[in-house]
Homo-oligomer: A and B are copies of this chain.
């Protein structure tokens, strides 16, 4: 966590920097699917993951969105795409080392989601 400095102005400047950094993160990782896809691939690091398999297992995603999001993630060096010479052709997706650096983000979101669901249930 960022240090809380005594000087109010410094603390506020620091906050502005933090918000800019968060904006950068959200530009790359934001939206409905990118973090879901990264989490899925990270959980499957030692398996070969094909397009159709992802589409089946990431609930609700369409071929169009999956294709588009995978391209975005590849451009940002978070995943790799390898065409395999099988019949029929298959394409193996996997998370890169850099992509694994997103794990702390998805982990806090998973934990918060679990906690949130508990909170909702107990408040009924």
Contact = CB atoms under 8 A, between A and B. Distances in A.
A115 B115 CA distance: 28
B22 A35 contact: yes
Nearest to A46: B4
A108 B110 contact: no
A25 B101 contact: no
A19 B59 contact: yes
A109 B2 contact: no
Contacts of A117: 21, 24
Interface string A20-47: 1111111011101001100110011000
Contacts of A104: 108, 111-112
A117 B20 CA distance: 10
